Amino acid sequence: MQELSKTYSPKDVEDKWYSYWEDRNLFHATVQKNKTPFTVVIPPPNITGILTMGHVLNNTLQDVFVRWKRMSGYEACWVPGTDHAGIATQNAVEKSLAKEGKHRYDLGREKFVELVWEWRQKYGSTIIRQLRKLGVSCDWKRERFTMDEGLSDAVKEVFIRLFDKGLIYRGKYIVNWCPQHQTALSDDEVDHEEANGNLYHIKYPILGTNEFAIVATTRPETMLGDTALCVHPKDDRYKHLVGKTAVLPIVNRHLPIIADEYIELGFGTGVMKVTPAHDANDFVLGQRHELSQINIFDETAHLNTSVPKQYQGMDRFECRRQLVKDLEALGCMAKIEPYVHNIGKCYRCHTIIEPWLSDQWFVKMRPLAGPALRVVHEGKIKFHPDRWAKVYEHWMTNIRDWCISRQIWWGHRIPVYYTSDGAYTAARNENEARKKLGVAPDAAIRQDEDVLDTWFSSWLWPFSTLGWPNDNEELHYFNPTDTLVTAPDIIFFWVARMVMANMEFMKGTPGKDGKPRKKDDDLVPFRDVYFTSIIRDEQGRKMSKSLGNSPDPLDVIDQYGADALRFTTAFLAPLGQDVLFSTEKCELGRNFANKIWNAGRFLLMNKQEIFGDNEISLDKLPAEHLDLADRWILSRLNQAIKTMNEKLDEFQVNEATKLLYDFIWHDFCDWYVELAKTRFYGDEPQDVKRASITRALWIFDQALRLLHPVMPFISEELWQHLANRKGASLMRADFPVVDARYINQTIEDEVGFMMKLIDAVRNIRGELNVPPSKQVDVYIYLHGEFGEKLAVNAEYVKGLLGYIERLCKAKAIPTWLQEGEKPKQHKNSASAVADGTEIFIPLEGIIDLDAERKRLEKEIARVQGLIDSIERKLSNPSFVAKAPKDVVAKEREKQKNIGVNLEKLKANLAAWS
């Protein structure tokens, strides 16, 4: 057997086990009718992306769930894949083109798209490679891409079905236009930011009078597109103006003055200019009053030919400056005051959005939203934490139509075809389009130039990845999926839309029972949605590329190991709270890994010592020679198994992780392993030693199984060392199932009492600075119920005290005292009381009298405080009358026990004075 290194070295084991699992197909899931599926679809990362801490958290959590379910007997299937990320990817490629001084128009559409595909071949799998380093157990054979053939078919199919149903329409609309990308953005892709601007007060002369109407605006340049002025119908200041005509300065266009309740009384001057082509609200207002729309910008937000010559070709901001000057020269600028307002910016390039009138495609969302709202409301889909359900419901009840066209080249081209006279339809190809349009088979036809919003493919993810629209068994078996783990900021972009799509398009597809689905239960895309925390840096800022505050997870893995990173992330991420992360925090996980490693090393050393090279089996618990410590750890273990399963069921991954930490570090390493040493190193018969080490290994084996979902690499490495696994893997081993027979509170109390004795002795040594090299005697009174048990279990206590012996490198020799008996040198002893049992440690010559007095006084004060609080309760008649009986009884019991402690402590203190 090879020696294990003194510290755990992740680099030596991680890649080895990942290939082992992958080579043996252990990630792969298939339709298995006798097993319940557990399906997770990955939120597909962008092909432009590199692994961030957000991905680490998200994928660690998914892997924990998937590995846990896989070990628990489910057919666990985790479908991975990537997103083509239209705008982001096009951006990336255009950037590299720009380095060669080229623009996409230089190449033309076809060549450019070809280039993007090349780019995707080259760089698009980076994040997938990085994910493997994290240890994720994705079913890589099912990896999909939102633009691969199958998914493109799904996109087309969905578009055509919605189009034929009348749920997709084309319309002139004010969209959020990014002049940089020259494409429309959905409302959600616009970030609103506060900005310091000005409120310009411009005078509009009223025709046929000497009056002016003063209009306040933040964007004077849009006045070139004004087609009306508007006031509130109830505004007495301006009632007389309604129906009159104003003159647009500089342009001299005549503007009708209209009245509309949209105007907010009390804001600005009370008169608003109406620019239907360049403001979403004005657009609606303009439609209501049948105003003309004058578009003054081209697609790059430069002034077009519909404005006076001197402004044509100017950039919008340049035009603003010039216009302000000109208005001032004309005396039309009443005043300019500083003004803070919100402006919309492109979420990708931060360019200021221009509300722009253009032809776009939309999906009518209301008909789809109804069922999606219902399933969340009725709990068919559960959100964790559930407060997100409220956010979801609010958005869904106020849902607006979805602008799905994008004026870029990289993406799914809209499957709409036009005849030369403008008729159009949606079709799978040109021929089908001609048929649907009823034109000749050779008629000229052209496809829409636009592509679809990236989310138009990702909203189909839970079924398109499983082969839809082709009917197949895997789709029936793995959809609905089970748990979706995603960030709350894409609840509308993605989560809500997936619910709508799955419910709409899976209707009639056979379910697990082979019958066509009808019920909501079978139509939902997933049952649980876990919303991850947002990972922030230590200052609480969101991690972002531009801030450069996001540690590279690969560096972290390199430095600390994937398990350490996974553990730390899971440990730090409570359900529903943001996480402040820093690389150094991974020491927590690294130290834990090292602790586990050394526990394993210790057990293996002793196995070697006792068994030599003979192999052992850990198939079942070696139940011979069970002693108190064994019964105790078995109780603790089963408690841990129970709680672990419960916490994971409740999506409390951080709690499950904490539990692992406490069980392995404190219960197993601090106490059980230390107790086991008394047997490994003692003069027990060989068969007792054999049973002991085998049992310790068996417990450790169980602990590694519990650990595996969170720390797959180190658990597998150690698990393989514990016994000859004959080619098996921990990732396919059984997850521990609680055996309630082993949970034994009495034993835990007994051991707990002994621990208190040990703690008391340690406390004396620690506080009185008794050097470790100093041998001490320990006198223990046998007292009460536990006292009797102590006498019975004297051997265990000796063992426990032997533990002190090793820790302190000093002998601690227990002597049993009967009630009333006094230890020798009582006067010079330090003392403690644990659950009524007195301990004396004679410390003639070394003891500092003042120190011991202080120590006792401190302890008395603590216990006195406890007693006082109990007495306050018990002397309150209402408490005794109204509190539940068991609570009162517990208090009385406590009062009695602690009272005894207090008396003895006081007596001991008195002995000093």
In the numeric block, the tokens 């009524």 are attached to 836
Query: Least CB distance from residue 816 to RNA, whole Å?
Result: 23
Out of 876, 893, 896, 911, the only residue in the binding site for RNA (CB under 7 A) is: 876
In the numeric block, the tokens 């089908």 are attached to 432
For CA atoms 806, 807, 810, 815, give the dihedral sign. negative
Q: Toward RNA, which CB reaches closer, 75 or 859?
A: 859
Respond yes or no on whether the N-terminal peptide bond of residue 736 is cis (omega within 30° of 0).
no
Cα–Cα distance for residue pair 437/680, rounded to 1 Å: 86
Out of 387, 507, 826, 853, the only residue in the binding site for RNA (CB under 7 A) is: 387
Tokens of 418: 């036009």
What residues numbered 587-626 form the site for RNA, per CB under 7 A?
A: 587-588, 590-591, 593-595, 598-599, 601-602, 605
What residues numbered 813-852 form the site for RNA, per CB under 7 A?
A: none
> What would the x/- binding string for RNA be over residues 849 to 868, using CB under 7 A?
---------x---xxxxxxx
What residues numbered 486-525 form the site for RNA, per CB under 7 A?
A: 489, 492
Query: Least CB distance from residue 58 to RNA, whole Å?
Result: 17
Question: Which residue, 801, 820, 800, is CA-closest to 810?
Answer: 801
Sole window of 63-71, 360-368, 834-842, 876-884 interacting with RNA (rule: CB under 7 A): 876-884
Question: Which residue, 859, 887, 861, is CA-closest to 874?
Answer: 887
Three-class DSSP category at 406 = strand
The bridge status of strand 402-403 relative to strand 354-363 is antiparallel
What residues numbered 216-245 form the site for RNA, per CB under 7 A?
A: 216-219
φ, ψ of residue 81 to 5 degrees: the values are 165, 180
Query: Least CB distance from residue 556 to RNA, whole Å?
Result: 14
Half-sphere exposure at residue 57, Cβ-oriented, CA atoms within 13 angstroms: 27
CB-based contact 580:540 (threshold 8 Å): yes
CA 896 to chain centre: 48
What residues numbered 396-435 form the site for RNA, per CB under 7 A?
A: 398
Query: Least CB distance from residue 680 to RNA, whole Å?
Result: 8
Question: Which residue, 357, 338, 354, is CA-closest to 346?
Answer: 354
CB-based contact 352:344 (threshold 8 Å): yes
CB-based contact 327:333 (threshold 8 Å): yes
Q: Toward RNA, which CB reaches closer, 41 or 660?
A: 660
Cα–Cα distance for residue pair 715/388, rounded to 1 Å: 35
Q: Toward RNA, which CB reaches closer, 624 or 871?
A: 871
> What would the x/- binding string for RNA be over residues 529 to 548, using CB under 7 A?
---------x-x-x------
Out of 109, 172, 325, 394, the only residue in the binding site for RNA (CB under 7 A) is: 394
Tokens of 24: 């043996």
> What would the x/- binding string for RNA be over residues 269 to 308, using CB under 7 A?
xxxxx-----xxx---------------------------
Question: Which residue, 588, 563, 735, 568, is CA-closest to 649?
Answer: 735
Sole window of 97-105, 513-521, 574-582, 783-791 interacting with RNA (rule: CB under 7 A): 574-582
Three-class DSSP category at 430 = helix
- Give, in order, the Cα–Cα distances in Å from 91 to each of 94, 101, 260, 314, 896: 5, 15, 42, 25, 75
CB-based contact 533:576 (threshold 8 Å): yes
φ, ψ of residue 246 to 5 degrees: the values are -105, 160
CB-based contact 137:79 (threshold 8 Å): no
Q: Is 64 in the site for RNA (CB under 7 A)?
A: no
Query: Least CB distance from residue 654 to RNA, whole Å?
Result: 6
Q: Toward RNA, which CB reaches closer, 345 or 517?
A: 345
Q: Toward RNA, which CB reaches closer, 140 or 879?
A: 879
Q: Is 670 in the site for RNA (CB under 7 A)?
A: yes
Q: Toward RNA, which CB reaches closer, 155 or 905?
A: 905
> What would the x/- binding string for RNA be over residues 673 to 702, using CB under 7 A?
xx--x---x---------------------
What residues numbered 197-216 form the site for RNA, per CB under 7 A?
A: 199, 215-216
Out of 63, 83, 630, 655, the only residue in the binding site for RNA (CB under 7 A) is: 655
Q: Toward RNA, which CB reaches closer, 467 or 561?
A: 561
> Residue 876 contacts by C-beta under 8 Å, 6 or more apart in sequence?
none
Q: Is 749 in the site for RNA (CB under 7 A)?
A: no
Q: What's the DSSP call for residue 5?
A: P
The bridge status of strand 402-403 relative to strand 190-205 is unpaired
Q: Toward RNA, which CB reaches closer, 80 or 709?
A: 709
Query: Least CB distance from residue 882 to RNA, whole Å?
Result: 4
Total residues contacting RNA by CB under 7 A comes to: 100
Query: Least CB distance from residue 490 to RNA, whole Å?
Result: 10
Query: Least CB distance from residue 67 to RNA, whole Å?
Result: 21
What residues numbered 166-195 form the site for RNA, per CB under 7 A?
A: 187-188, 192
CB-based contact 912:856 (threshold 8 Å): yes
**Burial of residue 145 (number of CB atoms within 10 Å: 0-12, 13-18, 19+):** buried
Out of 207, 766, 821, 893, the only residue in the binding site for RNA (CB under 7 A) is: 766
- H-run or E-run covering 355: strand 354-363
Q: Is 108 in the site for RNA (CB under 7 A)?
A: no
Query: Least CB distance from residue 341 to RNA, whole Å?
Result: 4
Query: Least CB distance from residue 621 to RNA, whole Å?
Result: 21
Q: Toward RNA, which CB reaches closer, 127 or 291?
A: 291
Q: Is 904 in the site for RNA (CB under 7 A)?
A: no
